[in-house]
Amino acid sequence: MERYQTATDSQLLELIRKDDRVAFTELYNRYWDKLFTVAMHRLNDEHEAEEVVQEVFLSLWQRRLTIELTHSLNTYLSVAVKYRIINHLDKQFRKKQHIDHLTIHAPRELDSTSQWLSEKELRVQLEQSISRLPEKCRIVFLLSREQNKTNAEIAAELNIAEKTVEAHMTKALSTLRQTLNITIPLLIYLIDK
């Protein structure tokens, strides 16, 4: 164990490429506090900060065989956390904007019970339509909408090009829009709920 503690980041990365989990744990312990502090400072939410840092380490492990660093690991991890924070804040902002838009433009005269039933029926139709998507298209769509993964994360996880992910998402949204005969903002609202 002491061998890992005295190893350089580069040496630990080489061991991680060989699936050495102890080396990964050493890097995790070495950088967790620093990355968490950065995330917590920006997000002001302990749970979200932990999630961002966990995603960075998960990505590092998943990409261990292909990762090539041009700078130090410290720099790489710091930049990765900052990008995750930006993506996280951007998603929050877009979701809030969308909800605000729906709240402002929602028809006030609808009976809440009938609205609830209509939404429930629409959700059932949506789930059925999603289940009828081609397999890869459905997987990409669900990773994006249910797990909030970015196109890059989906591409890495499925080992496909980002353009392929974009094509699957375009096809999925187009198919769902046609099948359900609804506009995209309402579709996104239903999917994000």
- Euclidean distance between CA atoms 119 and 88, whole angstroms: 28
pLDDT computed for residue 181 by the predictor = 66
* Dihedral (CA of 76, 82, 87, 91) sign: positive
What contacts 102, CB < 8 A, 6 or more positions away? 185, 189
**What percent of the chain has a predicted confidence (pLDDT) above 70?**
82
- 137 vs 97, which has greater pLDDT? 137
- Euclidean distance between CA atoms 183 and 187, whole angstroms: 6
User: 64 vs 9, 16, 60, 61, CA distance in Å?
Assistant: 13, 6, 6, 5
Domains in the chain, start-ordered, CATH in brackets? 1-106 (1.10.1740.10), 108-193 (1.10.10.10)
- What is the reported pTM? 0.50
Per the CB < 8 A criterion, the answer to whether 57 and 67 are in contact is: no
Give long-range contacts, CB 8 A cutoff, 24+ apart: 11-14: 13/64, 13/67, 13/69, 13/73
**What percent of the chain has a predicted confidence (pLDDT) above 90?**
27
Whether 166 shows a pLDDT value over 70: the answer reads yes
